[in-house]
Every structure is written in C-alpha cells, then in structure tokens.
A = this chain, B = another copy of it.
C-alpha cells in the first residue's frame, strides 16, 4: 500500500510515519519507483503499536524505540524483555533515594515475599515517592504502603497470567510490553473511579456538592 493508505489505516499522518521511520521505530518501506514506497500490513500493525505506547501509555519516542528493539530481538528471553518494559515510565531520577526509604520498600517486599534483583526500577521509583512524602512533612502518607503492595500483587499476577495466555513468543512479548506500559494508565483510571466512589460513599453530602459544581 502507499503511504496515504498506511496513514489512514494506522491513524497517523504521513509526516508522522516519516518521522517514526527516520527515528528507527518503523522499518522503511520498499522503494518501488521514483518518490514511491510500498508498505504492508506489518507497517500498519507496528504503527498502531507505537500509537498505543506513545499516545495512551505516554512513553517517549526514545523509550518506545528501546522497547521495540527489545521486542524485535528473538534471542532476548522474556525475563529480560520484562526488564526492558519495566524501564518504561520509570524516568531517571536525580540522586538516590534515602536509605530510610529504601529500607521501608525492602521491608514491604519482605513482608510480601517478593524477590527481585537489586536493579529493579520499581524499588527506586517507590522509594523516591516515600522521600517526597518525607520532604513535605507527611511521612504518615506512607502508611498506605502495605495495602498498595497488596494491590500491586493482584495486578502483577493478572499481568503475568495475560502474558501466559498469549500463545507464541511474539504475542507474549507484545503482552509484556503493552501490558506494562498501558497497565499503569488503566490502573490510574480505575483508581480515580474507585476513589470517587469511596468518597461518595463516605461523604454523601460533599460528593453531591462536587457534582453540583461540575454541573454549573
């Protein structure tokens, strides 16, 4: 198909197709003549995947490129692919978390029987949040940690089950990548629904007030 058809099928502009190709996210099409390039269904699928990661998962172009490189390497074991996928949404932090916060995360890991290698990006990410709670004088907010960990366990099991159900290696790899990147967004969405629902249940009057404001 031509670039105009590819663009329509994948829902991205021709300029964006060219940009992603230049950036190495999409393989180049096949040159079939002067100023003419042929694309196939593989290009459509790849562009849709990129859109999902960037527009819905809020990944950067650079992170998306790294992840696609990992997905395209058939030698890479799924465990290592999970490691790559986990870096998504884990932007580099300046400075290291405090020992105190690292110890709190490790203690919740111990309580849940979690075992990972020390480089797991989630450890620093979680400890950084505890440091932020401390920095604003609200260490009490970290009391939510055990219940957050319980929730994370439920989600992680669902994630790994979805990978296992996927079938062949390529589809498993895709489930790892997409599930990790977009799962954060799905969970953030459901959390907001559940929060308001809890709030309505606990403070029926305040919630009605909020609805009225919304309606104005």
Contact = CB atoms under 8 A, between A and B. Distances in A.
Contacts of A55: 94, 132
A195 B58 CA distance: 20
B136 A179 contact: no
Interface in A83-132: 83, 86, 89-91, 94, 105, 108-109, 112-117, 119-132
A58 to B, nearest CB: 7
Copies in the complex: 2
Interface residues of A, number: 108
Most buried by B among A126, A195, A198: A195
Interface in A201-216: 201-203, 206-207, 209-211, 213-214
13 contacts: A45-B136, A79-B207, A83-B213, A114-B193, A114-B197, A124-B189, A125-B186, A147-B158, A148-B155, A152-B190, A154-B154, A156-B194, A160-B199
